[in-house]
Amino acid sequence: MVMGGGPMGGAWTASRSFSRDRSVVERKLARGTTKRILAYARPYRRQITIFLVTTVASAASAAAVPLLLKVLIDNGVVPGRRDVVVWSALIVAGLAVLDAGLNLIGRWMSARVGEGLIYDLRRQVFDHVQRQPIAFFTRTQTGSLVSRLNSDVVGAQQAFTGTLSQVVSNIVTLVLALGAMLVLSWQITLVVLVLVPVFLLPARYIGRRLADISRESMQLNAGMSQTMTERFNVSGALLVKIFGRYQTENDTFEQAAARVRDIGVLQALYARYFFIGLTFLASFATAVVYGIGGWLAIDGALQVGTLVALAALLTRLYGPLTALSNVQVDIMTALVSFERVFEVLDLKPLVRDAPDARPLVAGGARERSSGEPASAEPMSVEFDHVSFRYPAPDDVSLASLESVARLSGGNGSNDDVLHDVSFRVEAGQMVALVGASGAGKTTITHLVSRLYDPTSGRVSVGEHDVRTVTLESLHDVVGVVTQDAHMFHDTIRANLLYARPEADEPDVRAALDAAQISELVDSLPDGLDTVVGDRGYRLSGGEKQRLAIARLLLKSPSVVVLDEATAHLDSESEVAVQDALRTALTGRTSLVIAHRLSTIRDADVILVVEGGRIVERGTHEELVHAGGTYSDLYQTQFAPAQPTV
């Protein structure tokens, strides 16, 4: 546990310290950072106290050994007193046992504090990130975000278990060793201290080179990780195969890997230079001590035991002295890691429960016929003069998570994408949204499930403003199926139960039957326990959509949002999905986006969205005969095959 207890330990500690990015000490920490760090340490103050006590005691016992050697030689060996030799040797052995025990206790306490802090920080960051708006995830680099949960959290933990123990241990060791040496021979001690700058000046140069090399190494490794993440997921691998760019990818990766290799060799070489330098200094200083001390011992000005003690104390002097000369880098590195974690925790979610939010309670469940899943009573949906603009980047993201110097205002961040939208979907009705891409249809559905809040106006579900109800209850009531239904890399059963973990086997079977995918699931070798692969890529588009519908049915929501659920499907898959959707929509309020007008001809009301405004509304027949935008869309899709309505 005591770093710097000998030349090798001291070299390792000092080398790591010098290899850190020295520019970190120039960074200005946010006010209150230290106070927040101490708040995280408060639950572990008992363990930290024991940890520090064992660290100090271990350093003191290590420094006491050379003094006992002096007693053993000067008071035991030289005068021939065997009792002193025996007792001194026993005390040295006892200190060794004590030091081992202290190391074990200290390591135990260190692990409890360190792992506890990692758990606390990771849990908080993970929970906090999940509550961020979708805009946060569309802007953030996943790798950077994961790094906050791993590298920075572990770096923050080092403030208590690594940096703290090293600083305390090195200070105690340095003070005790230097004090003992001055008492034993202040002349030799001064000579030894004069040699320190001879090492520190070149060491700082090597340290700067090590820091530069380490920084470049981390950047190159991060780049390689990003490349592997993008190329090894299904979408990336498919793109590489489609374009046949194997050799290009191999060459690019080979160049990056070669640079990492070269940097690794250079880093190892400079670290070895540092180690050799410190070892050489310690050896040279030891030679000086034995040379001068031996001369004085021959003249009778110095005892032999004192000489041995000085040489032993010297090994406990240079390591701590060198490490402490650069300790501000270690401390600031740990503090900056904490600050980077706090940076994420301080990004307030734009969508969150109001202090007085109440649960949105759907009507009682109605048993459906033919063994189909139970369905909650449908609820109305209403937009009342709703306008919306997407939040500015500064409100939803961090520049450091996007790997940019600063966040820009973003395109159109000050422009409304919805303008005074008003409509009502009665309980049990089906309302379709039609319009060109970018018209604002998906944005409307996002406001229903409260992925965003309107800039002005009111969105209501079941006559309740969605901002006044709890998010959990709203998401229980509103079910969504998107055009790219996501599946976790898990079994079919696990993906279905994600909607309702407490569902039993009959519920799951009923949902599969209603989604018309039971036959497919039963045909698989592992049935419900079949793993669907990354993002569900082992399934076809139609199969994945029907599983998503089964998941929706298992959830049994009162309101269903379909965002182009049949887009990009072939005709056969579309028919199967449409049949499943027909079951899913029966007895529920539904808001459906569709580019294929054939899928929404039976809608109770069709809303035509254009430029963030509702420009037409009515039934299919009414809108076709009106001769407006909807009629033009219909004629474009069906005129060649079906010239009349």
Mean pLDDT of residues grouped by 10 in the chain (645 residues)?
44 54 61 82 89 88 87 87 89 91 89 86 88 83 76 77 80 88 88 78 72 74 76 76 78 86 83 76 82 86 88 81 72 79 86 90 52 67 94 78 60 74 92 89 92 93 93 90 83 90 89 86 88 82 84 88 70 69 81 79 90 92 88 75 47
Q: What is the pLDDT of residue 371?
A: 44
224 near 255, Cβ under 8 Å?
no
Classify residue 257: in a domain, yes or no.
no
**What letter does residue 160 receive in the DSSP assignment?**
I
Q: Kindly state whether residues 191 and 323 are assigned to the same domain.
A: yes
Is 627 within the bounds of a domain?
yes
State the pLDDT at residue 323.
74
Q: Are residues 74 and 165 in the same domain?
A: yes
Structural domain contains residue 633 = yes
Q: Which amino acid is at 86?
A: V
Token pair for residue 324?
């402490």
Beta bridge partners of 642: none
The pLDDT, as a whole number, for residue 574 is 65
Overall domain count for the chain: 2
* 334 and 446, same domain (yes or no): no
Provide CB contacts within 8 A for 209, sequence distance 6+: 270
Distance CA 280, CA 311 (A): 14
Same domain, yes or no: 341 and 436:
no
- Pick from 201, 202, 224, 221: which is nearest to 213 by CA? 221
Report how far Cα 122 is from the mean position of its chain's Cα atoms. Answer: 8
How far is C-alpha 118 from the geometric centre of its chain's CA atoms?
12
- pLDDT value at position 461? 93
Q: Assign 445 to helix, strand or coil.
A: helix
Residue 470: how many CA atoms within 13 Å on its side-chain side?
9
Domain assignment present for 293? no
Whole-Å CA distances, 524 to 436, 457, 532, 535, 543 = 39, 49, 11, 18, 13
Q: How far apart are CA 318 and CA 4, in angstroms?
A: 8
The C-alpha atoms of residue 388 and residue 373 are separated, in whole angstroms, by: 36
- The answer to whether residues 418 and 443 touch, using CB atoms and an 8 Å cutoff, is yes
The span from the CA of 375 to the CA of 361, in Å, is 14
**Contacts of range 252-261, beta carbons closer than 8 Å, 24 or more positions apart:** 252/227, 253/224, 253/227, 256/220, 256/223, 256/224, 256/227, 257/224, 259/220, 260/217, 260/220, 260/221, 260/224
Q: Quick one: which of 46, 272, 312, 281 has its CA closest to 180?
A: 312
Residue 341 and residue 471 in one domain: no
Tokens of 355: 């202090």
Q: What integer pLDDT is reported at residue 567 of this predicted model?
A: 59
Res 16: pLDDT = 56
Q: What tokens were used for 180?
A: 């003992």
Q: Are residues 537 and 441 in the same domain?
A: yes
pTM of the model as a whole: 0.75
Same domain, 589 and 482: yes
Same domain, 392 and 320: no
For β-strands 478-482 and 559-563, DSSP reports them as parallel
What is the number of H-type helices and E-type strands within the chain?
26, 12
| Confidence (pLDDT) at 468 | 93
> 3-class SS at 456?
strand
Instruction: Give me the phi and psi of 483, to 5 degrees please.
Output: -70, -25
Asked if residue 236 is part of any domain, the answer here is no
Distance between alpha carbon 306 and the CA centroid of its chain, in Å? Answer: 55
Region of residue 515 (left: phi > 0; alpha: psi -120 to 50; beta: else)? alpha
Please indicate, yes or no, whether residues 373 and 468 belong to a single structural domain of this protein: yes
DSSP state of 491: B
Residue 71 placed within a domain: yes
Looking at the chain, how many residues does it have?
A: 645
Q: Does residue 116 sit in the same domain as residue 180?
A: yes
Task: For residue 244, give the amino acid letter.
Answer: G
CATH for 150: 1.20.1560.10
pLDDT tens-place string over residues 618-634: 999 899 888 888 888 88
Expressed as residue numbers, the domain containing 543 is: 365-400+410-638
Cβ count near 62 (within 10 Å): 25
Q: How far apart are CA 213 and CA 219, in angstroms?
A: 10
Residues in Cβ contact with 530 at an 8 Å cutoff, skipping those fewer than 6 apart? 491, 492, 521, 524, 538
pLDDT computed for residue 3 by the predictor: 38
CATH number at residue 552: 3.40.50.300
Q: Is residue 229 part of a domain?
A: no
How many Å apart are CA 404 and CA 393, to the nearest integer? 12
The per-residue pLDDT for 358 is 92
Please tell me whether residues 326 and 472 are part of one structural domain: no
State the pLDDT at residue 1: 38
Q: Based on the fold, state whether residues 335 and 484 are members of the same structural domain.
A: no
469 inside domain: yes
The residues near 129 (Cβ < 8 Å, ≥ 6 apart) are: 136, 145, 149, 344
Number of Cα atoms under 13 Å in the Cβ half of residue 213: 23
